[in-house]
Amino acid sequence: MLENYFVTAIGTDSGKTVVSAIIAEMLGGDYWKPIQAGYPRDTETVRELVSNTESKFHPEAYLLNTPASPHASARIDGVNIDIESIKLPQTENSLVIEGAGGCLVPLNDQEVVADLIPQFRSRVVLVSNLYLGSINHTLLTAEYLHNKGYSVKGIIFNGEENEESQRIILKKTQLRYLLHVKKEQSINREMISKYAELLSNNW
């Protein structure tokens, strides 16, 4: 069954782009980042990492110049992000949608990244990078998603192995474990394909 998956995270630089590439590779699905703030473009990164021939890469609805929170970047560019104007790309494929920054990063004075989830009728994949303090940040994000009633497919961990952090996060959130992307020396197509195969076992 074709579905939309919204990849969000507990913060910035959590590994959403790599995770999005892994999911797109596994599904043979399309990729779309509706709001990009700063360069290089994550769309180009994912395009370089995905090796299947089915995935298509759709242009951003907002391509902003400054690497900052989307609301701040848009203000610098003299743009107002209107989420009602953002329309899903036309595709007959599953669609992997990558959010900007963390779940509650503001898009404008009213709306945050997570407000795009119901608009795009998406299931959520939550990325949690493992660092000191990530338990609190992950539990807060999971609670927010739960309270909003958003459908969460599961959680993907990223970074150095920390079995106790992963155990307590899974216990407290009751989210499904999907994958752990370990710290790799290089990120390339072979690495993405390896993790796509691992992810397929838990999907």
pLDDT value of position 188: 97
Q: Which residues are catalytic?
A: 33
- Across the chain, mean pLDDT equals 96
Are 23 and 199 within 8 A, CB to CB? Answer: yes
Q: CATH says 11-93+106-118+129-202 is which class?
A: alpha beta
Residues paired with residue 36 on neighbouring β-strands, in sequence order: 63
Residue 93 banded pLDDT, cuts 50, 70, 90: very high
pLDDT value of position 140: 98
pLDDT value of position 1: 66
* Alpha carbon distance 154, 168 (integer Å): 15
Convert the pLDDT of each residue in 4-35 to its tens digit. 999 999 998 899 999 999 999 999 999 999 99
Convert the pLDDT of each residue in 95-148 to its tens digit. 999 999 999 999 999 999 999 999 999 999 999 999 999 999 999 999 999 999
Rounded to 5 degrees, φ, ψ at 33 are -115, 100
* 10-28 per-residue burial string, b: 16 or more CB within 10 A, e: under 16: bbeebbbbbbbbbbbbbbe
- Given a cut of 80, whether residue 77 has pLDDT beyond it is yes
